[in-house]
Chains A and B, each alone.
Chain A
Amino acid sequence: AQSVAQPEDQVNVAEGNPLTVKCTYSVSGNPYLFWYVQYPNRGLQFLLKYITGDNLVKGSYGFEAEFNKSQTSFHLKKPSALVSDSALYFCAVRDNSNYQLIWGAGTKLIIKP
């Protein structure tokens, strides 16, 4: 069965420190992977995606994600966290049979000053 797991409900990081939000997936065929961010009372915003090519994908707001095929992971990273990065982050993988996105449960990222 195709699925996405975000093992951490919440991640706490001090401002200025590097951050990682974890995501693992299970999908048939080539994985198409996405990260979205949701700020309070807003819709989801696209951050970045992996389709093919370089395993390190750069996205909006200084975020990047590393695709690891052997570990079936697509962790979101940022070298230096900002308080404004505090939000809910969703990982998603595309179901290659119908183009739907399979969503993780979300990880709440809290950046403390």
Chain B
Amino acid sequence: DAGVIQSPRHEVTEMGQEVTLRCKPISGHDYLFWYRQTMMRGLELLIYFNNNVPIDDSGMPEDRFSAKMPNASFSTLKIQPSEPRDSAVYFCASSSAINEQFFGPGTRLTVL
């Protein structure tokens, strides 16, 4: 298995632009998590899905952030409009039931 795949690996955009981050979880995993990591705030859980259904989005910072999981092999995290304070590394992770989470390589987002 290729592991969790994220794209793009790096994204540089200007304030106000829409940003879409993509994730392909490990096949067979039924949980998918989106995290954000910054120096100031550490690792934060934004939202997670179970069987493609959003379970808890309380970590999503504001309405500018949205996430979807249209099928078991694909998820997106969208920021619209983006702001400089959104600059961070965004990780996607997947797991099966109660087992450990497997992380993707992350997307480093820079908003100018």
Contact = CB atoms under 8 A, between A and B. Distances in A.
Central interface residue in A43, A99, A103, A106, by most chain B CB within 10 Å: A43
Nearest to A46: B100
Contacts of A36: 103
B43 A43 contact: no
12 contacts: A32-B98, A34-B100, A44-B91, A44-B101, A46-B101, A46-B102, A49-B100, A90-B43, A99-B31, A100-B48, A105-B42, A106-B42
> Mostly helix, strand, loop or mixed at chain B's interface?
strand
B104 interface: yes
- Interface residues on chain A, size class: 10 to 19
- Interface residues on chain B, size class: 10 to 19
Interface of B: 4, 31, 42-43, 45, 48, 55-56, 91, 93, 97-98, 100-106
B55 A98 contact: yes
> Mostly helix, strand, loop or mixed at chain A's interface?
strand
B45 A43 contact: no
B104 A43 contact: yes
Central interface residue in B4, B48, B93, B101, by most chain A CB within 10 Å: B101
A45 interface: yes
B42 to A, nearest CB: 5
Interface in A70-101: 90, 94, 98-101
Contacts of B42: 103, 105-106
Contact of B103 (A44, A49, A100): A44
B94 to A, nearest CB: 12
Nearest to A49: B100
A43 B106 contact: yes
Central interface residue in B91, B97, B100, by most chain A CB within 10 Å: B100
A11 B43 CA distance: 19
A32 B101 CA distance: 13
A20 B69 CA distance: 39
Contacts of B55: 98
A30 B31 CA distance: 21
